[in-house]
Amino acid sequence: MLLRDLLDIGELRLVLRTGDHGLDRPIRWVYTTELVLPGRYLTGDELVLTGLMWRKGHEDPDWLVATLVDAGVSALGVGTAVHGHVPPDIVAACRERGLPLIEIPEEISFGTVSEVVTRRLMAERTAGLTTAIGRHRRLLAGMAEGAGLDAVFAVSREDIGRGCWIVTPTGHVVAGPATGPPADDARTLAAGYLTADRLPHVVRAGRTYTLLLVGAQARHRVAGRFLACEGDLRHAGDEITESVHELAALAALERARVEEGRRVERRMVAELAEPAGPAESTGPAGAPGPAGAPTSARPVDPGEVAARMRLCGLSPGEPYVAVSATVGEVPHPDELACVVLEELLYGAGGVVGGLRGEAIAFVPAAGIADVVATMRAASLFLEPALAGEGLAVGVSGPAEGPAALRGAVEEARHTRRLAGRRAGRLRVATSEEAQSHALLLANVPATVRESYRDRLLRPLRDYDSEHHSELVPTLEAFLDCSGSWSRCAARLHIHVNTLRYRIGRIGELTGRDLSTFEDRVDLFLALRAT
């Protein structure tokens, strides 16, 4: 109950002596005391009653009033049974400190005041509990009937009298009443969410909002969602605060349900990006082999790829670009990279899958320039929440037809690796920015690259394995030095004659002449065809 409600109880005949400005102070409980310094026993929002029996007339009343103000009490009630009136210095001290002072008539006992206030508080709490239970039932019924968060939030707005919205880390409002925060305000809220030391957090964006986390705290806030609620909940009542936290809990349940469905979709997209072949290297019980272990993926069947595209909601007749993204130098779980990429591609109409800490997406090629610009802006926006972590994104050129889809994936991966070498933590690169031999190789089927590499380099690797020699490293160094004998010998710390012998053996084993430009190119591409 509020202080003004207490004063309106006619049977108590209470008189407000000071504190007209504090009529909206809440009263949580009644505490009766004759202690001079009762502050240690108070927790805030109490109505403190005293008959001033300890007062002899010369004590400084500021001690008592200061203690009550520091404890956060709502008002001081002084009975007149002992002194016949409220001492003027008590009135002056309360007025100076801004503490509401109530005069209690001599014929009204403190027990009567306590009983009436307690009865009123219990009635209010019972009504509030009944309201909360009813609201909770309505919200759960709405969720169970598939009404969606928008409908649930509309019901909640009627109950708590304020709007609440679910917002993404880049400022997209995904649920809540239609009259949500403007786009600029939503981005301001998202920036507050990403940089706040802790949640709940109050942000001023046109209006005042309180931000609450939806669900459990994720490793990175970019993987989460937040609830933006109108007003400063620090000054709201318990009923409103509980209602808002209830909304956040329901939103977390809904997101968990959606995420479970997305996990299935992500697995399907991953299989589309990298279907397993019958000869793929595996460990025990079909587990993937060691990283970097050679594989022999079966040739791409365009009909099978087209079928997989349809399962993922993609049209085989439309061109798509592939997008590859990683977070951090050491790969994180697929979910983090997937959620970040989904956030970057918000509204682009693509599908996302996860592979060994990497996220792969397929996005319609039409309008991809605008999508890339949006991704770059969003990546910069997310930077505060990714401090210390690198975000690298690569975008392929358009893949015309199902047969070209795998090549687009490898092109995107190559472009992402090139983006990862750039300065800064947040990097987005397109295939147009990464024109090189690697881009050409990325569009060659893996089986063709593997066959080409083995024909040229297997004799050298077999020789190195049998004789403990270093022909392959020598070839790499020689080509890296542009065929300079002296520079290559110095890099390898060997004599030039030793280098000439090794290059001769390489020529004999491969049938290539390293003095010709064409043969050098062939061997260089074989080394890069991984």
pLDDT, tens only, 368-406: 889 888 888 888 888 777 766 778 888 988 988 888 888
Q: Which of 95-109, 189-203, 233-247, 363-377 has the lowest mean pLDDT?
A: 233-247
Give the count of alpha carbons within 13 A of 164, CB side only.
Answer: 34
Q: What is the pLDDT of residue 128?
A: 58
C-alpha 103: how far from its chain's center? 54
| Alpha-carbon span 288 to 295, nearest angstrom | 10
Q: In the predicted model, what is the mean pLDDT of residues 248-268?
A: 81
Q: In the predicted model, what is the mean pLDDT of residues 41-46?
A: 87
Instruction: Tell which wins on pLDDT, 356 or 282.
Output: 356
Which range has the top average pLDDT, 62-71, 119-128, 131-140, 229-238? 62-71
Q: What is the pLDDT of residue 498?
A: 92
Nearest to 356 by CA among 260, 281, 288, 433: 288
DSSP state of 149: H
pLDDT confidence bin for 500, thresholds 50/70/90: very high
Q: What is the pLDDT of residue 264?
A: 83
Q: What is the pLDDT of residue 303?
A: 84
3-state secondary structure of 160: helix
Q: What mean pLDDT value characterizes the chain?
A: 80
For residue 223, how many other CB atoms are within 10 A of its CB? 22
Nearest to 421 by CA among 446, 460, 390: 390
Q: What is the pLDDT of residue 282?
A: 34
Q: What is the pLDDT of residue 170?
A: 87
Nearest to 512 by CA among 502, 522, 497, 526: 522
453-461: Cβ within 8 A, 24+ apart: 453/526, 453/527, 453/529, 453/530, 455/526, 456/510, 456/512, 456/522, 456/523, 456/526, 457/510, 457/523, 457/526, 457/527, 459/509, 459/510, 460/506, 460/509, 460/510
Q: What's at 323, amino acid-wise?
A: V
Return the ∠ at Cα 262 (arms to 259 and 263), rounded to 5°: 90
Q: Which residue has the tokens 């130098």?
A: 329
Q: What is the pLDDT of residue 22?
A: 83
Q: In the predicted model, what is the mean pLDDT of residues 178-194?
A: 86
pLDDT confidence bin for 247, thresholds 50/70/90: confident
| Alpha-carbon span 297 to 274, nearest angstrom | 9
8 Å CB contact between 201 and 210 = yes
Q: Beta strands 101-104 and 15-18: pairing type?
A: antiparallel
- The pLDDT of residue 346 is above 80: yes
Q: What is the pLDDT of residue 336?
A: 79
Q: In the predicted model, what is the mean pLDDT of residues 294-299?
A: 47
What fold is seen in the domain 146-252?
Answer: Beta-Lactamase (3.30.450)
Q: What is the pLDDT of residue 334?
A: 57
What six digits make up the tokens of 204? 């001023």
DSSP state of 3: H
- The pLDDT of residue 232 is above 60: yes
Q: What is the pLDDT of residue 407?
A: 85
Q: What is the pLDDT of residue 73?
A: 92
Q: Where are the domains of the chain?
A: 3-119, 146-252, 302-442, 446-528
Q: In the predicted model, what is the mean pLDDT of residues 268-284?
A: 59
| Alpha-carbon span 228 to 525, nearest angstrom | 54
- The pLDDT of residue 56 is above 50: yes
The full length of the chain comes to 530
> In the chain, what is the straight-line distance between the N-terminal and C-terminal CA atoms, in Å?
74
Q: pLDDT for 399-445, tens place per residue?
A: 888 888 888 888 888 888 877 766 555 578 787 766 555 555 655 66
Q: Which CATH number fits domain 302-442: 3.20.20.70, 3.30.70.270, 3.10.20.600, 1.10.760.10?
A: 3.30.70.270
What fold is seen in the domain 3-119?
Answer: 3.40.1390
Q: What is the pLDDT of residue 58?
A: 61
| Alpha-carbon span 331 to 325, nearest angstrom | 10
Q: Which of 323-332, 340-349, 486-495 has the lowest mean pLDDT?
A: 323-332
3-state secondary structure of 478: helix
Q: In the predicted model, what is the mean pLDDT of residues 266-295?
A: 52
8 Å CB contact between 33 and 71 = no
User: pLDDT over 90 for what percent of the chain?
Assistant: 16
Q: What is the pLDDT of residue 289?
A: 37
| Alpha-carbon span 370 to 97, nearest angstrom | 60
E-strand stretches of 99-153:
101-104
Q: What is the pLDDT of residue 178?
A: 76
- The pLDDT of residue 292 is above 50: no
Domain 446-528 sits in CATH 1.10.10.2840: yes
Q: What is the pLDDT of residue 499?
A: 92
3-state secondary structure of 399: strand
Q: What is the pLDDT of residue 223?
A: 80
pTM of the complete model: 0.53
Q: In the predicted model, what is the mean pLDDT of residues 296-315?
A: 78
pLDDT confidence bin for 143, thresholds 50/70/90: low
pLDDT confidence bin for 495, thresholds 50/70/90: very high
Does the fold of domain 446-528 match that of domain 3-119?
no
Q: What is the pLDDT of residue 439?
A: 54
Bridge partner residues of 48 (DSSP): 31, 76
pLDDT confidence bin for 299, thresholds 50/70/90: low
- The pLDDT of residue 459 is above 80: yes
Instruction: Tell which wins on pLDDT, 289 or 428.
Output: 428
DSSP per position, 350-394: -EEEEETTEEEEEEESTTHHHHHHHHHHHHHHTGGGGTT--EEEE
